[in-house]
């Protein structure tokens, strides 16, 4: 291709290629102080956005409230950073979008995403401290349309039913409202939270000359405030801004580093995800602020155009309710007829159930009586068996004592004859030796009998009376095992008591505890050694924490099958029915342990491996009355 044609082609491509110009975007910022200061404050945001979103050319304009509204109506701004109430009003009037972000104010390095209203007066106004003190007082404000500079404070006064005096709308800046209070032109000033801290930091306000009225204490909130807290200023895009543009701006604002260089130059912490501004709407509705003020010129057609969907839905709902009411009337008649029939049937059924309940109650009463009689007979049988064993055991020492006493009496008669005939020294020494030997046998035989009687007496009294007392566990178990000894001689089983601290005492019921140990030992003898000539049963005691003790009855018998293990505590369950087993022994044991003694019982066994019964009881038993209801422990002597 010749140089001429190449030049023509390049020129044609240059003419046909689009020239990309930056799209201008204007950000309108509400100036609550003066416009010049506000413009200078927000210039770093303009530079930041021009840097991170290069396809747009951003310009920041600070405008007072009236000029900002006019700019929004004429679409001379694309994005708006304004107070919450103005955002709500613009949403209704100009169709602003949902917020792109919410401004984060800054106090030191701490971000603050809420604001409130501050009521300020001179520090020498000692009679003005609370909201109630503002009755009839004059107020200086920037404008009644300022949300945090008038409306939230007025809402707080309305809730407290306080009527303020004259309102001075200065229309310049909130700084001027504070100055008017210091100059004595007004009693109080309404300003947004954070302003007095900014002025003091700038050196433009002496904090000792003012004080905050009705100061609230919100944990973590760094500014002096007199009202509730509401969301900070929103950033919104007007309707004509494209969605992709709004998304780019929102992403750039949210990605601005919190407390970074740009944020610090602006004097804020940054931006966060949009807040919920429903609380702002609630204040505006309560104060009847535009657009929530009542318009008396509303026509029925206006109502229809605005609420036709709700009206149609209401009509349909009314029709549905009417139809349901008619159907309900028909159903009510049917229900009335059914109820009459049902009441008759219920009455008959109630009478039948009452009769059956009476029969069941009588049967239950008889069963309870039978159970109590069986339990009592079981206790008496145990005592009877113990008596027979003790009587047999006493026969030997008492018989020995009788034989020795008879021999000693005959020897005494012979000695008396020898004394008359003339006593020799050898005869006297023989008589003394025989007498000493006989008395030694008598003392040992009668001592053994006395020990058996004392042990039996204590055990019998305990089991018969079930009286609560403080007792040593070692002595109690020793007496029980001693009284069981005579009855166990024929079985070939030996009962061994393990080591127990002599200081271990229980405030409990020795009688029921003795019955438990007796039944467990007798159960082992009866069922554990059915086909064996001998065996060993160990009674061991271990501490369970600071307030419980565990008593284990361990035998080396035949054990219990898994099929029977889960049923051994059931009443009348026995594997030796008709062979000496009533089926009530272990059931009584479980009731005593879990009821009177306030403990628990468990069993561990397998065939051929013996059986371990574990009884865990508290050192201080729960108090029970004779009927089984709780009572206080008996006083100790």
pLDDT digits (tens, 9 = 90+) for 549-598: 999 999 988 888 888 888 888 877 777 655 555 567 788 888 889 888 99
Give the highest mean pLDDT range of 18-27, 54-63, 422-431, 453-462.
54-63
pLDDT at 5 (0 to 100): 47
pLDDT band at 242 (very low <50, low <70, confident <90, very high): very high
1-5, 183-187, 388-392, 424-428, range with the lowest pLDDT: 1-5
From CA 48, how far away is CA 141, in angstroms rounded? Answer: 33
Give the highest mean pLDDT range of 222-236, 403-417, 486-500, 585-599.
222-236
> Which has more confidence, 488 or 357?
357
pLDDT at 371 (0 to 100): 64
Q: Is the pLDDT of residue 391 over 70?
A: no
pLDDT band at 19 (very low <50, low <70, confident <90, very high): very low
The CATH code for residues 469-618 is 3.30.565.10
Fold match, 21-110+233-278 / 469-618: no
pLDDT at 42 (0 to 100): 94
Q: Is the pLDDT of residue 419 over 60?
A: yes
Count CA within 13 A, CB hemisphere, residue 560.
22
Q: What percent of the chain has pLDDT over 90?
A: 40
Q: Is the pLDDT of residue 627 over 70?
A: no
63-67, 352-356, 390-394, range with the lowest pLDDT: 390-394
SS3 assignment, position 325 = helix
pLDDT at 12 (0 to 100): 43
pLDDT at 579 (0 to 100): 57
Q: For 276-291, what is each residue's pLDDT tens digit?
A: 999 999 999 999 998 8
pLDDT at 218 (0 to 100): 94
H-state helical runs in 231-299: 243-254, 261-266, 278-287
159-173, 239-253, 440-454, 494-508, range with the lowest pLDDT: 440-454
> Strand ranges (DSSP E) for 527-610?
535-544, 548-555, 600-605
CA distances from 228 to 153, 196, 502 (A): 9, 17, 71
SS3 assignment, position 129 = coil
Rounded to 10 degrees, what is the CA torsion of 235, 238, 242, 248?
Answer: -10
> Facing residues of 107 across strands?
110
pLDDT band at 377 (very low <50, low <70, confident <90, very high): low
Q: Mean pLDDT across the chain, nearest whole number?
A: 83
Q: Is the pLDDT of residue 203 over 70?
A: yes
pLDDT band at 308 (very low <50, low <70, confident <90, very high): confident
> Facing residues of 580 across strands?
none
Of residues 545, 534, 527, the one with CA closest to residue 613: 527
Fold of the 114-229 domain: D-Maltodextrin-Binding Protein; domain 2 (3.40.190)
From CA 226, how far away is CA 632, in angstroms rounded? Answer: 59
> Which has more confidence, 6 or 196?
196
pLDDT at 636 (0 to 100): 34
The CATH code for residues 21-110+233-278 is 3.40.190.10
Average pLDDT value for residue range 60-82: 92
Average pLDDT value for residue range 603-625: 86
Q: For 508-530, what is each residue's pLDDT tens digit?
A: 988 889 889 988 988 888 887 76
pLDDT band at 612 (very low <50, low <70, confident <90, very high): very high
Average pLDDT value for residue range 27-43: 88
244-248, 314-318, 453-457, range with the lowest pLDDT: 453-457
pLDDT at 116 (0 to 100): 95
pLDDT at 631 (0 to 100): 39
Q: Is the pLDDT of residue 222 over 50?
A: yes
Q: DSSP letter for 157, please.
A: H
pLDDT at 17 (0 to 100): 41
Q: Is the pLDDT of residue 443 over 90?
A: no
pLDDT at 13 (0 to 100): 43
pLDDT band at 629 (very low <50, low <70, confident <90, very high): very low
> Facing residues of 611 across strands?
555, 605
Quick check: 33 and 191 in contact, CB under 8 A? no
- The string over 227-261, giving b where at least 16 C-beta atoms fall within 10 Å of a residue's C-beta and e elsewhere, is bbbbbbbbbbbbeebeeebbebbbebbbebeebee
Quick check: 621 and 513 in contact, CB under 8 A? no
Domain boundaries, the chain: 21-110+233-278, 114-229, 300-429, 469-618
Q: Is the pLDDT of residue 83 over 80?
A: yes
Q: Is the pLDDT of residue 337 over 70?
A: yes
CA distances from 554 to 412, 538, 539, 579 (A): 53, 5, 6, 23
Average pLDDT value for residue range 451-474: 66
């Amino acid at each position: 291709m010749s140089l001429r044609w190449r030049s023509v082609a390049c020129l044609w491509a240059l003419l046909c290629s689009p020239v990309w110009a930056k799209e201008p975007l204007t950000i309108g910022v509400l100036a609550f102080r003066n416009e010049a200061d506000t413009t200078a404050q927000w210039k770093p945001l303009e530079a930041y956005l021009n840097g991170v979103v290069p396809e747009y050319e951003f310009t920041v304009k600070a405008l007072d409230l009236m000029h900002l509204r006019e700019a929004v109506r004429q679409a001379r701004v694309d994005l708006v950073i304004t107070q919450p109430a103005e955002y709500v009003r613009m949403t209704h009037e100009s169709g602003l979008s949902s917020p792109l972000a919410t401004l984060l104010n800054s106090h030191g390095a701490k971000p603050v995403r809420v604001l409130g209203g501050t009521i300020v007066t001179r520090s020498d106004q000692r009679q003005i401290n609370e909201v109630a003190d503002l009755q009839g007082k004059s107020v200086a404000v920037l404008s009644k349309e300022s949300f945090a500079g008038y409306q939230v404070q007025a809402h707080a006064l309305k809730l407290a039913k306080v009527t303020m005096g004259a309102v001075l709308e200065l229309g310049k800046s909130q700084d001027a409202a504070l100055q008017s209070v210091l100059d004595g032109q007004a009693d109080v000033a309404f300003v947004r939270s954070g302003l007095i801290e900014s002025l003091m930091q700038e050196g433009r306000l002496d904090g000792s000359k003012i004080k905050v009225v009705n100061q609230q204490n919100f944990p973590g909130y760094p500014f002096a405030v007199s009202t509730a807290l509401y969301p900070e200023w929103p950033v919104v895009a007007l309707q004509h801004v494209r969605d992709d543009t709004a998304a780019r701006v929102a992403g750039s604002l949210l990605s601005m580093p919190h407390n970074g260089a740009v944020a610090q130059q602006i004097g804020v912490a940054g931006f966060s995800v949009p807040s919920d501004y429903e609380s702002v709407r609630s204040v505006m509705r309560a104060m009847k602020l535009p657009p929530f003020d009542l318009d008396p010129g509303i026509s029925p057609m206006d109502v229809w155009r605005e609420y036709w969907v709700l009206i149609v839905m209401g009509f349909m709902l009314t029709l549905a309710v009417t139809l349901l009411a008619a159907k309900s009337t028909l159903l009510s008649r049917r229900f009335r007829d059914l109820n009459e029939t049902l009441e008759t049937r219920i009455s008959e059924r109630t009478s039948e159930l009452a009769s059956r309940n009476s029969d069941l109650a009588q049967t239950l009463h008889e069963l309870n009586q039978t159970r109590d009689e069986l339990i009592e007979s079981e206790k008496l049988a145990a005592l009877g068996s113990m008596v027979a064993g003790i009587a047999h055991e006493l026969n030997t020492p008492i018989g020995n004592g009788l034989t020795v006493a008879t021999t000693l009496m005959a020897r005494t008669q012979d000695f008396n004859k020898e004394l008359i005939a003339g006593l020799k020294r050898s005869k006297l020494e023989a008589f003394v030796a025989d007498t000493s030997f006989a008395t030694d046998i008598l003392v040992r035989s009668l001592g053994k009998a006395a020990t058996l009687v004392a042990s039996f007496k204590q055990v019998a009294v305990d089991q018969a009376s079930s009286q609560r007392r403080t007792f040593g566990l070692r002595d109690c178990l020793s007496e029980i095992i001693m009284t069981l000894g005579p009855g166990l001689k024929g079985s070939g089983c030996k009962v061994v008591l393990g080591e127990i601290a002599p200081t271990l005492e229980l405030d409990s019921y020795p009688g029921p505890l003795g019955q438990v140990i007796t039944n467990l030992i007798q159960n082992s003898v009866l069922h554990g050694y059915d086909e064996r000539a001998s065996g060993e049963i160990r009674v061991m005691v271990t501490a369970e924490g600071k307030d419980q003790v565990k008593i284990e009855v361990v035998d080396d018998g035949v054990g219990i099958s898994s099929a029977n293990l889960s049923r051994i505590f059931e009443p009348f369950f026995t594997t030796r029915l008709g062979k000496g087993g009533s089926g009530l022994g272990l059931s009584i044991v479980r009731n005593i342990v879990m009821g009177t003694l306030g403990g628990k019982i468990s069993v561990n066994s397998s065939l051929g491996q013996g059986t371990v019964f574990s009884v865990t009881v508290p050192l201080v038993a729960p108090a029970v009355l004779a009927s089984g209801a709780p009572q206080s422990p008996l006083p100790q002597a």
